[in-house]
């Protein structure tokens, strides 16, 4: 592939080099052949001129064909660059929109008073919204490029840490209550967990959401810059 890209990027220099080799050398040879030489007993200059004419004509047509093929390859590369950019940019925009939408839906569901009925339902809902949906977006991001995938992978790790901190805080609350011989009812425990969950959403959760959106938008800008560079590199000159 490196050799192929080298040929494409330097095609005009290669054509000039071949032109020198296949035109100048025969031309010089032709000049030498038509110089009167007392050692030659038969005049072959006309034969040589005829050969040189056909040789030069074939060479010119071959060079035009080569230039046409190289221009067609370059045009195909430009079209491929346009198509790849359009597909990846659209997928990245969809990923950003999907994350925004799922975060909004998740917050609405978790803040729904109906979730206060049972703690287990709230926990299950939290897992379903955050982690199950995140697995799909991470898989989708891998189809865009490596940068988007690793951003989503890092996002999942950070979200997992925040999630663990939340449960550790709740667990410490329970253990402190047990150590202090304080009985915790189901209603009190559910109320504490939901209260901490709201705090979680209003701070780390929102900060992490904003961070991931900023990083994905940066990838979008980088994708545009790479597209411009590739377009300038491959456009017909």
Domain ranges of the chain: 2-80, 81-234
Residue pair 142/95 in contact (Cβ under 8 Å)? The answer is no
Residue 156 has pLDDT above 70, yes or no: yes
pLDDT at 62 (0 to 100): 74
* Distance (Å) of CA 122 to CA 7, 65, 106, 116, 188: 61, 70, 11, 7, 15
Q: Exposure of 158 by Cβ count < 10 A (0-12 exposed, 13-18 middle, 19+ buried)?
A: middle
pLDDT at 118 (0 to 100): 45
pLDDT at 10 (0 to 100): 64
Residues sharing a CB contact under 8 Å with residue 198, sequence separation 6 or more, in sequence order: 111
193: number of Cβ within 10 Å: 19
Q: What are phi and psi of 62, to 5 degrees?
A: -65, -40
pLDDT tens digit sequence for 170-196: 677 767 776 666 666 666 666 666 666
pLDDT at 121 (0 to 100): 45
Of residues 64 and 133, more confidence is placed in 64
Model confidence at 74, pLDDT cuts 50, 70, 90, reads: confident
- Average pLDDT for 75-101: 78
């Amino acid at each position: 592939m490196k050799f192929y890209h080298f040929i494409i990027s330097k095609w005009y220099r290669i054509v000039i080099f071949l032109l020198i080799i296949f035109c100048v050398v025969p031309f010089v040879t032709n000049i030498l052949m038509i110089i009167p030489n007392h050692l030659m007993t038969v005049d072959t200059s006309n034969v040589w001129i005829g050969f040189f004419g056909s040789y030069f004509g074939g060479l010119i047509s071959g060079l035009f064909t080569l230039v046409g093929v190289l221009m067609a390859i370059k045009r195909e590369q430009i079209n491929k660059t346009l198509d790849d950019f359009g597909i990846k940019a659209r997928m990245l925009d969809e990923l950003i929109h999907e994350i925004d939408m799922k975060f909004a839906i998740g917050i609405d569901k978790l803040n729904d008073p109906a979730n206060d009925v049972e703690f287990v339902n709230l926990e299950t809902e939290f897992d379903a919204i955050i982690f199950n949906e995140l697995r799909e977006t991470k898989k989708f991001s891998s189809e865009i490029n490596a940068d988007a995938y690793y951003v989503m992978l890092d996002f999942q790790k950070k979200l997992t840490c925040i999630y663990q901190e939340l449960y550790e805080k709740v667990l410490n609350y329970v253990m402190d209550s047990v150590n202090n011989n304080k009985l915790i009812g189901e209603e009190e425990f559910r109320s504490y967990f939901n209260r901490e969950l709201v705090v979680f959403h209003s701070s780390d959760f929102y900060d992490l959401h904003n961070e991931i959106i900023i990083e994905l938008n940066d990838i979008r800008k980088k994708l545009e810059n790479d597209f411009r560079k590739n377009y300038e590199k491959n456009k017909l000159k």
